[in-house]
Structure 1
Amino acid sequence: MKHPVTPDGRYFVVRGRLWRMSNPKLDETQRSKLTNRLMSARRAVRAAKTANDQSAEAAAHRAVDDAKRVLGERGPVWWNDGSPDLNRHLAKNTPYAEWYGQIGRSRPGGT
């Protein structure tokens, strides 16, 4: 993966922000189908925007959200140790700050 992943595998980091990973308990076939569903929904968003079709765009955004929820990237967290969801938080403002500070310096150009 081109983006760093937190040591616990819950998030990847893009431009300093945490983004929740998919549920690792999904089997590869299921994950592949859901990822294809997500990509199709994202293409539908783009097509609706191009066509300036607000109704189709709203439906496509709902389809993206639904796919992300089933993948575990949104909605209830897929871990059960009581840790909070830090999705979209800046890594430097989370318990991952020390880890991120170390890997940020070690990656070319920092992250």
Structure 2
Amino acid sequence: MAGAVSSVGVAAVIAGLIAALGVVGGAALAAERLAGTADAAALAAADAASGAVTGVPCDEAARIAEAGNASLRECDVEGLIATITVAGAYGGISFDARSRAGPPEAAIP
């Protein structure tokens, strides 16, 4: 009988660990998706700032953020460089992701 109780206890601990790893994995995946959304929003804003596409840079960033199930928290465009912060959530935990896009810096001789 003691062996059966131990087996049930071990199974419960393993099930709990698997559930916890699932939650952590889901949160990590949500954070990576949010980072990708921030990258895409920054690229869209930088493209609009450079004239490569039509539109207002921050409006384009907000459109991309919304398409990625996120919200635009900050949009800063200086010249051709766009810095974007987007916000998202997973399981009641909020995440922010920040990205910067623009032309490459000039090489220093």
TM-score by length of 2: 0.33
TM-score by length of 1: 0.32
Larger radius of gyration, structure 1 or 2? Answer: 2
**Does 1 or 2 have the higher relative contact order (CA < 8 Å, sep 6+)?**
1
Higher helix proportion, which one?
2
